[in-house]
Amino acid sequence: MKQKKTAIYIRVSTDAQREEGYSIDAQTEMLEAYCVSKGLKNYVHYTDPGYTGSNMDRPALQQLLIDVKSGLIDAVVVYKLDRLSRSQKDTLYLIEDVFNPHGVDFISTQENMDTSTPMGRLMLGILSAFAQLERENIRERTRMGMKERVKSGLWPGGGRIPFGYDYDQQKGILVPNKDAETVRKIYDLYLEGYSTGRIYKMLGMKYEKQAIQILERKSNAGYITYNGEEYLGQHKAIVSLETYQKAMDFMLERSVQKTSNGGHLFTGLLVCGKCGAKMRYQKWGKHECKIVCYSKDKSKPHLVKDENCDNAMQWAGDIENIVIDDLFSFSLKQKQIDDVRATTQSVLEVLQNRYDEASKKIKRLYNLYASSNDDILLETIEEQQKQLANIQAQIAREHERNALTNKIESVKKTLETLEETWEHMTKQEQKNVVRSCVEKIVISDSDIEVFYKFDIAT
C-alpha cells in the first residue's frame, strides 16, 4: 500500500505577485519549512506558474485533484487561501466535495487554518467569502474604468479587432488597414442590391455570416458599442454614418420581404382599422385578390383580435391605386432639407472645434500633473473628461440627425419622379420604395389612411 503524501500547492498568476513576495521560490521555502516543523517529511509539489485563481483550469491543480481522488494525498498545504482559488464557489467545492470526502485536510499557513478542526472550517467559509468579495470589487473597478475609457472614444481592447482595422496599443484606438477597402466594397455592393450570399463569394470571403457581421458593425462608421451603449470613437471611420444607416435600413427591409408570404405590394403593411389585426391578400376568382382582416381567418387564431370584426373586404387593386396616388401626391420641399443639412453641418463644425480644444486642454493638464503631482489637477482633469464625454454625446446625436436628414432627402428624391418612373420599375423596386417610407396602411371599410415612417414634407 502506497504511503500518502502531503501536497504543497503553489500558484503565481502575474509578475507583480512575484515582486510582492508571492514568487514560486518564496512560497516553496515557507511551505517546506512549515511541513518540516509539523513533521510532514513526505511532501510533493504541485505548481501552477502564470495561472489565474478565478477558475480551476490549471494543470497542476487538475493533477492534484486526480491524486486526491486516487487516495495518494493525506493533506493539502497552501501559503494563502487565495493561492488555491479566488472563487468562493470553487474553494468550497474543492474542500467540501473533493478534499473532505477523501479524508484530505486543507491547511493555509498565513490564515492559520486547518480544516481538520471545527474552527478551521468556520474560518474557511469566512475567508472564502472575503476572497470572492475582493475579486468582485476588482472586476467592478475594472468595468468602471473600461466604461470611462470607451466614453472618451478609446477602443476597449481585448477580444477580436474588427475586420478592416488594426489596434494601436499606444494610442488606444483602431487604425484602418489594407482591408478597409474591402469593407467599403461590401457596403457598396450591398447598397447596389447584391445579397450577402453573393458578396462573400465575389470577395473571396470564407462564409456569408462574415459579410453580415461586417455590415452590422457600427465601428465601421466611427462608433464604439460597449455593453449595449454607443459612443463616438476617436478612430477614423471606414464608411460614413449615412452609408452605415442606409445599409441597416436596407437590411431591415430585406428581412421584412423575406418573412412576407407573397409578392404582393403591401404585404405586411395592412392593418384593420376596426379591430387592429393584420390584414392579408386573399385570392378571389382566377386573377383577382381582396384584402381581408385576419380576425376572419379562423385557421390562425393567434392573429385574431376580434372574431366578430365586421370590416368589409376590399378589392386589392382598389386599395393599391389609392395608396399609390397618395404617394404621387407628395410635394417635396428641397430647400428646407438643404437648410436643415447646412445647419447640422454648422453645428457639427462647432462641436468638433470644442472637442479638439477640450482634448488639448486635458493633455496640457496631464503634463502639468506629471511634473507637479498636484491632486487638485486630478479633479480638474476629471471635470474636463466629463465635459469631453458630453461633447462626444452631442456630436453623436448630430451625426444621427444628419443621417436621418440624408435618409429623408434620399426618399424625397425618389418620390420627386416616382409618378414618371413607377410603371418602369420592377415589382421588387416598387415594394422597396413603399417600405422605405410607409409605416402602415389602415383600412376601415372603404376608408384608407396611410401612415408614413417620418414626415417627408419637412
* Closest to 269 (Cα-Cα) out of 326, 228, 329, 197: 326
* Closest to 323 (Cα-Cα) out of 431, 407, 457, 249: 431
Q: What CA–CA distance (Å, rounded) separates 271 from 37?
A: 85
Q: What CA–CA distance (Å, rounded) separates 379 from 383?
A: 6
In this prediction, residue 341 carries a pLDDT of 47
13 in catalytic set: yes
Q: Which three cell numbers stand for residue 120?
A: 478551521
State the residue for C-alpha cell 502531503: 6
Return the exposure string of 407-420: e unless at least 16 CB atoms fall within 10 Å of the residue's CB, then b. bbbebbebbeebee
Q: Where are the domains of the chain?
A: 5-147, 165-259
In this prediction, residue 454 carries a pLDDT of 64
Q: What CA–CA distance (Å, rounded) separates 162 from 156?
A: 12
Who's near 306: CB < 8 A, 6+ residues apart? 274, 275, 277, 295
DSSP secondary structure, 102-165, as one string: GT-EEEETTTTEETTSHHHHHHHHHHHHHHHHHHHHHHHHHHHHHHHHHHTT----SSPPPTTE
In this prediction, residue 221 carries a pLDDT of 92
Q: What pTM does this model have?
A: 0.38
Residues of the chain with pLDDT under 50: 1, 16, 18-19, 259-261, 331-344, 456-458
In this prediction, residue 448 carries a pLDDT of 92
In this prediction, residue 373 carries a pLDDT of 63
CATH of 5-147, one of 3.40.50.720, 3.40.50.11140, 3.40.50.620, 3.40.50.1390: 3.40.50.1390
Which runs of consecutive H residues, i.e. helices, occur in 269-333?
A: 316-328
Question: Are the beta carbons of 279 and 271 closer than 8 angstroms?
Answer: yes
**Is the alpha carbon torsion for 263, 269, 270, 271 positive or negative?**
positive
Question: Are the beta carbons of 104 and 46 closer than 8 angstroms?
Answer: no
Is the domain 165-259 a CATH 3.90.1750.20 member?
yes
In this prediction, residue 455 carries a pLDDT of 57
In this prediction, residue 238 carries a pLDDT of 94
In this prediction, residue 409 carries a pLDDT of 62
Q: Which three cell numbers stand for residue 56?
A: 480551476
